[in-house]
Amino acid sequence: MSEIYRPTVAVIDLDHLAYNFKLAQKHAPGKTIIPVIKANAYGHGVIDVMRHLYDQGSRICAVSLLEEALEVRKVFDDIDILMMGPAFKNDLTTCSKARIMTTVYDQESLRDVLKAGVPLSIHLKVDTGMRRYGLSQTDEIMKALKSLHEASHVDLSGLYTHLSTADTDESYMQGQIERFKAILELSPVVPRMVHVANSSAIFKVESTFDFTTHARLGISLYGLSLDHPKPDLRPVMSLVSVVGSIRHLNKGDVLGYGATYQATRDETIAVIPIGYADGFIRRNRDSDVEIKGHRYPLVGTICMDACFARVSDGIQKGDPVTLFGGLITTDEVANRLGTIHYEVTTGISSRVPRITKKGLRT
């Protein structure tokens, strides 16, 4: 989308991004933070996000897909890119050519990498309890480390695991950490990058780790956290629009698809040009929106391209509307939808332009 005409945009505050990045660095002294920028930087716009982090000195990132890795590589020639998701046999030559750090995560991927015959930088993933990707038996992990270390075309650059309950169950997390440490102690070789923590663990335990070199920062880079109490983060995305039209309903008039809303008195309705095709899904119908510092309730069903708020008389066409990121937080939206804020920001569709904003310097 080159020209932007529509007033509905996700505003990305890069100063907040830099602030959150630095805050994470403070909680991981001596370690390198790996920004996790998969899924279009959790919906925030991958290239602008990485460019700003690059300006802050970051020379590494993590993504999930090869497509994501290649998109980043096209713009940033001199950074490390870790692909955490599965690389299939036919992807390995592309990974090699584009210098993508690739994850070995099961026996098949180990076999494929050992047979690849092209130079590869490999991180071995250990499953310590997430049970998604990673080798889990100690003997298979040791054999994998040895064979990867000995393969002349492989640079065994990393060893990592992923914590599944850092924000929900500290004792399970500690069990995973202990399992990882035991693997590391037995390992015949220690790669130069060892990483365990995600956002929650960075703020809770990374400063106590003496066995890691890196930590992977995802959701909290974007100013969001599921922890209680929350770290002092600053939200990066706000979703905004304007009042597209003002309608007046008489008592008894019905509104929108299905005529599901009926005015109980004479009412003023703001039509806002954002709908479910923008990722502002129909289940947001019980939400409020913010206009001129006040909350107003959405009414009626959310359309593909528009929704309705019942507003007070002073509200006019063109007034700015904030869907979330102001009075209404991403947490509030996530709670109301019965989900987590990861799903809220990644769910804003590609039809919504991401616009960077230069906020106040911290």
| Residues noted as catalytic | 38, 257
- The nearest distance, CB 226 to ligand PLP, in angstroms, is 8
Return the sign of the alpha-carbon dihedral for residues 195, 196, 202, 207: negative
∠ CA 300-303-304, rounded to 5°: 165
- Nearer residue to ligand PLP within complex by CB, 8 or 220: 220
- The nearest distance, CB 282 to ligand PLP, in angstroms, is 26
Own/partner long-range contacts of 99-104 (Cβ < 8 Å, ≥24 apart): 99/73, 100/66, 100/69, 100/70, 100/73, 101/157, 101/158, 103/133, 104/135, 104/144, 104/148
How many CB atoms are located within 10 Å of the residue 353 CB? 16
- Nearer residue to ligand PLP within complex by CB, 218 or 256: 218
- Nearer residue to ligand PLP within complex by CB, 141 or 291: 141
Assign 3-state DSSP to the chain and report helix, strand, coil percentages, each to 5.
35, 25, 40
Stretch that binds ligand PLP, among 1-9, 15-23, 214-222, 347-355 (CB under 6 A): 214-222
Q: How far apart are CA 183 and CA 162, in angstroms?
A: 14
Q: Is 218 in the site for ligand PLP (CB under 6 A)?
A: yes
Q: How far is CA 306 from the centre of its chain?
A: 26
What would the x/- binding string for ligand PLP be over residues 26 to 65, using CB under 6 A?
A: ----------x-----------------------------
- The nearest distance, CB 64 to ligand PLP, in angstroms, is 7
Q: How far is CA 80 from the centre of its chain?
A: 19
Q: Is 219 in the site for ligand PLP (CB under 6 A)?
A: yes
- Nearer residue to ligand PLP within complex by CB, 37 or 242: 37
* E strand map for 5-164: 9-13, 32-35, 60-63, 80-83, 100-104, 120-126, 154-161
Q: How far apart are CA 117 and CA 151, in angstroms?
A: 9
Under rule CB under 6 A, how many of the chain's residues touch ligand PLP? 9
- Output the furthest CA–CA distance in the chain (Å, rounded): 79
- Nearer residue to ligand PLP within complex by CB, 194 or 291: 194
- The residue type of 163 is L
H helices, E strands: number in the chain: 11, 19
Q: How far apart are CA 201 and CA 223, in angstroms?
A: 15
Q: Is 216 in the site for ligand PLP (CB under 6 A)?
A: yes
Q: Is 198 in the site for ligand PLP (CB under 6 A)?
A: yes
What would the x/- binding string for ligand PLP be over residues 140 to 169, using CB under 6 A?
A: ----------------------x-------
- The nearest distance, CB 38 to ligand PLP, in angstroms, is 7
- Nearer residue to ligand PLP within complex by CB, 176 or 198: 198
Stretch that binds ligand PLP, among 9-17, 19-27, 87-95, 211-219 (CB under 6 A): 211-219
Residue ranges in 75-134 that form contacts with ligand PLP under rule CB under 6 A: 84
- The nearest distance, CB 230 to ligand PLP, in angstroms, is 13
- The nearest distance, CB 199 to ligand PLP, in angstroms, is 3
Q: How far apart are CA 210 and CA 218, in angstroms?
A: 21
Q: Is 284 in the site for ligand PLP (CB under 6 A)?
A: no
- The nearest distance, CB 196 to ligand PLP, in angstroms, is 9
Q: How far apart are CA 358 and CA 344, in angstroms?
A: 23
The contact set with ligand PLP (CB under 6 A) reads 36, 84, 162, 198-199, 216-219
